[in-house]
């Protein structure tokens, strides 16, 4: 089984069921031998009534064998088999077959014509209907097999775990699949709502559809199927493919079962939180295994209007988010972060030479704090209505005085006050800022941009706007240590928290919470559970000592060697 250069390659399709699988290609036994059909035509000399009787017998046999298999299957598979049996028994199909035997009696022809009549119509209707054509073709093949007296077509089960490749699969083919012997499905045609996809999902079989050229791969050829990216690697390196499949299986098992709360394998806790923007995203995130919200961005309710929303309007929007998490999970609300790349007409200055370094975030309240006051009032009102105790933090803070003034405003309403650490100044002054606030939250995106003096939108500067930059890690470390000395929480929100390896480094630096997109929660949580606190500390040390982001990543990953990616 040696991979030769000319046959190796990658085919691409649409992934429908995630997972990795490696094995030789098997194909479906398709069609009925032409000789069997010819032999039937030669020996059959009955009337239209005889032929229809033969047809009814075939229908009964096919429906019975499908029902028999449905009884042995379960769930969706059983339902698909029963639906196919119903379709075989359909009165409309029988009527169409009967109608085609007026003159000459050729049952195979009449069956083919009747099926074509419906198949053409469904294909023309497109969409979901077009996907039913496969079912019809399958029924035709099964009925024809019974009529001419040969075995129904289908899959010949392989002896070794194999990858089933076909131009399309009929529901009856997929319904009887044994996941121990067929480990993935690769389909040249078919869409994401096809029966193949439904069954593959139920069996958790990695599945890729719409793979052009799939059926040109010879049976027996080893392929690696990636149900996450949709890539089919033909003739890959065997050892490498097996290793990747094993690693993915371990990762998947950990992911599926991870249900929070987050902790290292030796019990070091860290809060995993979600970033949300409104009621809808909050309700979605509340279903994930998170302990709350580390960053509620309030910009959305201001961006969609031409004038500032009233206190009552703001209260309603904040209340939606707070009630999604209830009194037992905490929510950190960030006050309006307008300006720079998020201008708001009625709030931000019109023309600035350099908006990223201009009047943005908390700075909007310097000349007129009334808008900030109204927002805090609305947050407090929403907290009272929902019976929750949100924390409130300000963006774009650079001095201790700014933090103190903001904390004073928030505490007047009885709320917990914090500030974001996005400027190198705030990180360097973390010790002193923590004497006036209750918590800190590091915004790694802006902290990286301001530390490296590199615009995060500038693609040529992507190597600089990398949170693994040693200077950025150093500022995070300073902030985390300040939090430990003060005994106050220091969280991280931003892209960095969603990178599983970096999340481990952050834990090692002493960060107490990680806030990220809800979709990133399980990968981060599961992978933190596979390393020890000591490994995280070691990873933090080597990342801090590294010369550049690439070296930092490699060194951290080596220290976390059990962290599989």
Partner 1 sequence: MPTSTVVVGSVVGLHARPAAIIAAAVNETGEEVTMAIPGGDPVDAGSAMLIMALGAALGDPVEVSSPSQSAHDRIAALVTQDLSA
Residues annotated as part of the active site: 195, 493
Q: Give SS3 for 271.
A: strand
Report the nearest approach of partner 1 to the CB of residue 176 (Å).
20
User: Do residues 409 and 373 lie in contact, with contact meaning Cβ atoms separated by under 8 Å?
Assistant: yes
Report the nearest approach of partner 1 to the CB of residue 87 (Å).
7
**Binding residue ranges for Mg(2+):** 422, 446
Residue 255: other Cβ atoms inside 10 A: 15
Q: Which residues bind partner 1 (CB under 8 A)?
A: 83, 86-87, 90-93, 95, 118, 121-122, 125, 128-129, 132
Preceding omega of 195 cis (within 30 degrees of 0): no
Furthest-apart CA pair in the chain: how many Å?
102
Residue 266's φ and ψ, nearest 5 degrees, are -100, 15
**Binding residue ranges for phosphoenolpyruvate:** 297, 334, 445-446, 456
- Beta-strand relationship, 439-443 and 416-421: parallel
Query: Which of 524, 562, 531, 556 has its CA nearest to residue 542?
Result: 556
Report the nearest approach of partner 1 to the CB of residue 157 (Å).
28
Q: Which is nearer to partner 1, 86 or 313 (CB)?
A: 86
Backbone conformation region of residue 368, classed left if phi is above 0, alpha if psi is from -120 to 50, else beta: beta
- Return d(Cα 182, Cα 159) in angstroms, integer: 10
Q: Which is nearer to partner 1, 28 or 139 (CB)?
A: 139
Report the nearest approach of partner 1 to the CB of residue 317 (Å).
30
Report the nearest approach of partner 1 to the CB of residue 193 (Å).
10
Q: Which is nearer to partner 1, 119 or 380 (CB)?
A: 119
Structure tokens that stand for 343 in this block: 């201008």
Residue 545: other Cβ atoms inside 10 A: 12
Report the nearest approach of partner 1 to the CB of residue 135 (Å).
8
**Binding residue ranges:** 297, 334, 422, 445-446, 456
Q: Which is nearer to partner 1, 30 or 95 (CB)?
A: 95
Q: Which is nearer to partner 1, 71 or 121 (CB)?
A: 121
Q: Give SS3 for 149.
A: coil
- Return d(Cα 532, Cα 508) in angstroms, integer: 10
User: Do residues 333 and 276 lie in contact, with contact meaning Cβ atoms separated by under 8 Å?
Assistant: no
Q: Give SS3 for 184.
A: strand
Q: Which is nearer to partner 1, 46 or 92 (CB)?
A: 92
- Return d(Cα 388, Cα 460) in angstroms, integer: 45
Report the nearest approach of partner 1 to the CB of residue 122 (Å).
7
Report the nearest approach of partner 1 to the CB of residue 91 (Å).
4
Per-residue burial over 127-156, b = 16 or more CB atoms within 10 Å of its CB, e = otherwise:
eeeebbbbbbebbbbbbbbbbbebebbbbe
CB-facing half-sphere around the CA of 343: CA atoms within 13 A? 10
Cα angle 483-487-490, degrees, rounded to a multiple of 5: 35
Q: Which is nearer to partner 1, 76 or 554 (CB)?
A: 76
Structure tokens that stand for 280 in this block: 């809808």
Q: Which is nearer to partner 1, 43 or 91 (CB)?
A: 91
Distances in whole angstroms, Cα of residue 351 to Cα of each of 158, 359, 366, 455, 546: 70, 10, 18, 18, 41
Full 3-state SS string of 220-253: CCEEEEECCCCEEEECCCHHHHHHHHHHHHHHHH
């Amino acid at each position: 089984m040696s991979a030769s250069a000319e046959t190796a390659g990658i085919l691409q399709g649409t992934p429908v069921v995630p997972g990795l699988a490696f094995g030789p290609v098997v194909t479906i036994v398709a069609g009925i031998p032409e000789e069997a059909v010819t032999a039937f035509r030669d020996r059959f000399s009955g009337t239209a009534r005889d032929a229809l009787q033969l047809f009814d017998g075939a229908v009964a046999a096919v429906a019975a064998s499908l029902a028999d298999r449905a009884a042995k299957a379960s769930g969706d598979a059983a339902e698909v088999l029963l639906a196919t049996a119903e379709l075989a028994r359909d009165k409309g199909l029988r009527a169409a077959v009967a109608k085609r035997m007026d003159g000459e009696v050729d049952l195979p022809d009449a069956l083919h014509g009747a099926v074509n009549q419906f198949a053409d119509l469904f294909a023309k209707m497109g969409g979901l209907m077009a996907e039913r054509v496969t079912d019809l073709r399958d029924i035709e093949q099964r009925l024809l097999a019974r009529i001419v007296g040969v075995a129904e077509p289908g899959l010949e089960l392989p002896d070794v775990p194999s990858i089933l490749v076909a131009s399309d699969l009929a529901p009856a083919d997929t319904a009887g699949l044994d996941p121990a012997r067929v480990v993935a499905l690769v389909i040249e045609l078919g869409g994401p709502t096809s029966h193949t996809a439904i069954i593959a999902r139920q069996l958790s079989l990695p599945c890729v559809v719409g793979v052009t050229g799939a059926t040109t791969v010879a049976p027996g050829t080893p392929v690696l199927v990636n149900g996450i990216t949709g890539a089919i690697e033909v003739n890959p390196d065997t050892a490498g493919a097996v290793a990747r499949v094993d690693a993915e299986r371990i990762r998947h098992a950990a992911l599926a079962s991870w249900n929070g709360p987050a902790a290292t394998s030796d019990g070091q806790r860290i809060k995993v939180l979600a970033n949300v923007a409104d009621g809808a995203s909050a309700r979605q995130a509340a279903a994930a295994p998170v302990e709350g919200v580390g960053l509620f961005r309030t910009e959305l309710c201001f961006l969609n209007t031409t004038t500032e929303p009233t206190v009552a309007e703001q209260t309603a929007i904040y209340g939606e988010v707070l009630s999604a998490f209830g009194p037992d999970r905490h929510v950190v609300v960030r006050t309006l972060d307008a300006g720079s790349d998020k201008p708001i007409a009625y709030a931000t200055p019109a023309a600035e030479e350099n908006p990223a370094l201009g009047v943005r975030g908390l700075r909007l309240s310097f000349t007129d704090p009334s808008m900030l006051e109204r927002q805090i009032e609305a947050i407090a009102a929403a907290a009272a209505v929902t019976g929750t105790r949100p924390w409130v933090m300000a963006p774009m803070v650079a001095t201790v005085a700014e933090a103190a003034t903001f904390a004073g405003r928030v505490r007047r309403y009885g709320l917990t006050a914090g500030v974001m650490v996005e400027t190198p100044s705030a990180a360097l002054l973390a010790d002193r800022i923590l004497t006036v606030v209750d918590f800190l939250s590091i915004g790694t995106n802006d902290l990286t941009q301001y530390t490296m003096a590199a615009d995060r939108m500038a693609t040529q500067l992507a190597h600089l706007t990398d949170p693994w930059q040693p200077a950025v890690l150093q500022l995070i470390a300073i902030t985390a240590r300040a939090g430990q000395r003060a005994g106050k929480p220091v969280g991280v929100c931003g892209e960095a928290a969603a990178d599983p390896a970096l999340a481990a480094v952050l834990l090692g630096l002493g960060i107490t919470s990680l806030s990220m997109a809800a979709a990133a929660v399980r990968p981060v949580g599961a992978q933190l559970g596979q390393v020890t606190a000591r490994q995280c500390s070691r990873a933090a040390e080597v990342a801090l000592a590294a010369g550049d982001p690439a070296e930092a990543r490699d060194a951290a990953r080596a220290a976390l060697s059990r962290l599989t990616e």
